Structure 1
């Protein structure tokens, strides 16, 4: 019987179908502009800015980029930090947070996290910065759990530490209430607002966003009013522009946003409730506000239970993943970074596991996963 069961994948992206995208493709055919800040891209930035504007009284600006990693690199390059500045980053995050710091010409200082939220906090960042001499913090909204931009703004104001938030997977949950804290989002296929690939930087600093936009076009000056020749290279940037085709998909995803949120919640809520009912305190969950548009389901359990679960799932063709491991500081010694002591992150990571989640999961698939988790918990209790 098991051999005939369909494998349950870890993630299945939810993107608009070709009919939803078609009206925007027709606009591309009409404009004949395919990249270089085309009309669809401009309209997308305006739509996104209006959405973010609903959550703050401050003016906000949106700059799209080809992907969130490029957004992080360009945003870090726009903070005005001296070369080789030390930048605090949490141990528990995707490697793009680390590589963006390095590629921007700085040195990562890998720090510990809060035991309940699994996120770096202003208090942790301040302590690490005071010991290491760091000049900036790349805070991360891990697993889509939003950060309090007001508390990070307070830290920036009181210490002079520059703060940037990596909210790659937190669109719809992470808002930009404090205009002085830039936030970077991903529009990768696996994210909540999916364009296939892409990203955006949102902040209340018009000059910062304008600089990021210029850097995304190699650093070429396009403004005749800055006292610098148009077409000349004024900064060393990259080719990080969002294409009109990806903007088309993003528009169609925005059109379906409310429906997509509902579909994700309709799977996530009963799924989590079933896991909690079956396993109780054997599973620990990330503390914080409910994520608006969840894209993954990650839990913490005993290390031996995780190992058992991985064996069970492999046998039953259920995909799992150890998010985000190895921890940043456990990567190769050839990668330049400053490694702090991280007992909390290591303890959490020892039992952290990502379970299958997508808006397409059926009740039968959820039941199979829950039964596998319960089996592993009971076997190691």
Structure 2
């Protein structure tokens, strides 16, 4: 063991050439490389079967070239008037914000729950009353799932559209409510990794057909649509998943169960060691045990976080202040936005820190990090 070796924040795990070989062979035989090819079609079917097993209704899956474009196209498909207000939590990755803006809407930055660190229907209700918002982009922050049934009830009662950004929540976030579209990422750092890619999942075939069309520039491919095939019917984008990325996703899906068990084991040992060493000096996001954790984030006193960052830099241990700055704290050019009071998000963010996590972490890595965190949280002011 080298006590001075750098510990990276994230190390992606994608299928190797042996795992990819049968799918690349299919790709070569098909000579179909994009535009809804056979590997992509088979991937959507595999995933639809998986999601359907976890729900009480049929599920439809549409791939996109990234989760960000999946979000943007799903929001666009709501067909709200330009400038319509869309609620989004302050604590999330910037893609949630940019997707709203690029869809032509105005973000309303809202607060989060103090235990789950998620936006809730109750928070969204208050923000909608204050701003007249027409939609909510609810986020499964840090992979912690949103309750689609609760959001479905909110949507029916309020008439406000709901879309869920579950970019990092594959395997933990299911689609129990058929009327709530959920978007996942297949970026290299996610548990179902294709290098890049996204999934739009819902129980409504009309939603998914619309997303599929928007991902192909908005060109009509339906001979029963009432106007000619090949005509532009909506303003879409080029957001199709390539057959190469579909091949990687297939191989990743083949290995997913084993990888999920690996990630769970590392996460459990890591968190247990930190809890034993640091006790109540650390705060954790409330919620379920994730099926396949991909990042490791916790909260501590702001002063302790500052000390930890300095010590980690000296010891070559990577850290990150996940999802900071908060959405409303970005550059003035990221506008217009509407900000609601966000005291909880600001309090949580003041001590939030991301520590290294990957399937390649060793017990020595974990012990080194735990000792460093313990030093930071127990050092007198």
TM-score for both structures, normalised by structure 1: 0.99
Is contact 1:304-1:380 (8 Å) kept?
no
Instruction: Give the match's secondary structure for 2:241.
Output: coil
Deviations 1:228-261 (A, max 9, x none): 1111111110000000000000000110111010
- Alignment partner, residue 376 of structure 2: 376
Moved more, 77-86 or 336-345: 77-86
The separation in 2 between residues aligned to 1:177 and 1:171, in whole angstroms, is 14
- Alignment partner, residue 111 of structure 1: 110
The separation in 2 between residues aligned to 1:208 and 1:182, in whole angstroms, is 8
The separation in 2 between residues aligned to 1:339 and 1:255, in whole angstroms, is 43
Deviations 1:113-138 (A, max 9, x none): 00000000000000000100101000
Is contact 1:305-1:380 (8 Å) kept?
no
Instruction: Give the match's secondary structure for 2:353.
Output: strand
Deviations 1:124-168 (A, max 9, x none): 000000100101000000000001111000100000010000000
- Alignment partner, residue 238 of structure 1: 237
The separation in 2 between residues aligned to 1:56 and 1:376, in whole angstroms, is 44
The separation in 2 between residues aligned to 1:121 and 1:34, in whole angstroms, is 41
- Alignment partner, residue 343 of structure 2: 343
- Alignment partner, residue 160 of structure 2: 161
Moved more, 55-64 or 164-173: 55-64
- Alignment partner, residue 122 of structure 1: 121
Moved more, 201-210 or 41-50: 201-210
Deviations 1:175-220 (A, max 9, x none): 0000000000000000010000000100011111101000000011
The separation in 2 between residues aligned to 1:209 and 1:79, in whole angstroms, is 12
Instruction: Give the match's secondary structure for 1:76.
Output: helix
Deviations 1:35-90 (A, max 9, x none): 00000000000000000001111111000000000000000011131221100000
Is contact 1:163-1:181 (8 Å) kept?
yes
The separation in 2 between residues aligned to 1:87 and 1:225, in whole angstroms, is 33
The 5 Å alignment of 1:86-97 reads: 86-97=85-96
- Alignment partner, residue 41 of structure 2: 42
Instruction: Give the match's secondary structure for 1:73.
Output: helix
Instruction: Give the match's secondary structure for 2:190.
Output: coil
Is contact 2:264-2:290 (8 Å) kept?
no
- Alignment partner, residue 75 of structure 1: 74
Distance 1:298 1:380, change over 3 A: farther
How far apart are 1:5 and its partner, in Å?
A: 2.0
The separation in 2 between residues aligned to 1:91 and 1:226, in whole angstroms, is 40
TM-score for both structures, normalised by structure 2: 0.99
- Alignment partner, residue 183 of structure 1: 182
The separation in 2 between residues aligned to 1:107 and 1:206, in whole angstroms, is 27
The separation in 1 between residues aligned to 2:113 and 2:380, in whole angstroms, is 27
Instruction: Give the match's secondary structure for 1:138.
Output: strand
Is contact 1:112-1:343 (8 Å) kept?
yes
Query: Is structure 2 residue 288 aligned with structure 1 residue 289?
Result: yes
Distance 1:104 1:270, change over 3 A: same
Is contact 1:87-1:138 (8 Å) kept?
yes
The separation in 2 between residues aligned to 1:24 and 1:147, in whole angstroms, is 33
- Alignment partner, residue 358 of structure 1: 358
* Structural RMSD (CA): 1.0
Shift >4 Å, 4+ stretches = none
The separation in 2 between residues aligned to 1:15 and 1:266, in whole angstroms, is 19
Where does the alignment leave 5 or more consecutive residues of structure 1 unmatched?
none
The separation in 2 between residues aligned to 1:20 and 1:303, in whole angstroms, is 44
- Alignment partner, residue 267 of structure 1: 266
